[in-house]
Amino acid sequence: MRILIVEDEKRLANILKKGLEEEGYAVDVAYNGEDGLFMAEQEPSDVVILDIMLPVIDGLTVLRSIRKLGIKTPVLMLTALDTVTDKVSGLDSGADDYLTKPFLFEELLARIRALLRRDSAVKTSVIEIGDLVIDMATREVRRGGREVRLSAKEYALLEYMALNRNKTLTRTALSEHLYDHDFDLDSNVIDVFINRIRNKIDRGFGKKIIRTVRGAGYILQG
């Protein structure tokens, strides 16, 4: 999954980026509202973490502009201001959730997971597809009751496909949601990861969950 952080406190932004990357997310960072708005418009993200107090263009203006452009990406607002008026302004401007500084990183992760599930048929942190079970909170994966060990990127790819089950996902779409803007979209790394995941979750089972759609991409069926 790919996350855009728009935060002018560089130390906080870099801490969040490092922590989220350790969790397997791809992370882009902008340090002012103008760059954040540009990146939100040009680069597809699964969640935007947006501070309110930003230089050049403030966070609420960025948020309103994003929504006017028709971008429906879930937005989590960050603020040091804990007042009802500020929260109402953010929500009325199109925010999906609100988090007041300081906050625990574990809470941020939980809110991100909830936002990722928002437009999915999955409404809890546990995804069940036949005998495949994915726990988004613990990042544990099991097939037929057997634990499946995945790398952070393998897990991120499987989770994204599971949240978009029964949809054909192109290699480009998978790359864009798995890596930041510096990634080479012409790379075959997605095919490599798909093969690794298949070897771990499909080998030894009669029903294959991940299927190749020739000329289009991949689909996780269940």
Q: Does 102 lie in the same domain as 11? A: yes
Q: Does 130 lie in the same domain as 109? A: no
Q: Does 200 lie in the same domain as 133? A: yes
**pLDDT tens, residue by residue, 74-85:** 999 998 876 777
Q: Does 196 lie in the same domain as 164? A: yes
Supply the pTM of this predicted model.
Answer: 0.77
Tell which residue, 42, 35, 51, 30, has the closest CA to residue 69.
42
Q: Does 98 lie in the same domain as 17? A: yes
Give me the CATH number covering residue 74.
3.40.50.2300
**pLDDT tens, residue by residue, 131-163:** 999 998 899 999 999 999 999 889 999 999 998
Distance between CA 109 and CA 122 in Å, rounded? 17
User: In this predicted structure, what is the pLDDT of residue 185?
Assistant: 56
CA dist list (Å): 147 to 124, 135, 144, 207: 20, 11, 8, 17
Host domain of residue 140: 126-220
Q: Does 107 lie in the same domain as 83? A: yes
Chain mean pLDDT for the chain: 89
Q: Is 47 exposed, middle or buried (0-12, 13-18, 19+ CB in 10 A)?
A: buried
Distance between CA 77 and CA 12 in Å, rounded? 14
Q: Does 36 lie in the same domain as 143? A: no
Domain boundary among 117, 145, 166: 117
Domain boundary among 117, 143, 165: 117
**pLDDT tens, residue by residue, 89-144:** 878 888 999 999 999 999 999 999 999 888 766 667 899 999 999 998 899 999 99
Domain boundary among 69, 87, 117: 117
**pLDDT tens, residue by residue, 46-60:** 999 999 999 999 999
Considering its fold, how many domains does the chain have in total? 2
Q: Does 61 lie in the same domain as 14? A: yes
Token pair belonging to 204: 């030894």
Q: Judge if the upstream peptide bond of residue 102 is cis by omega within 30 degrees of 0.
A: yes
Strand boundaries in 34-111, DSSP class E: 47-51, 75-79, 97-100
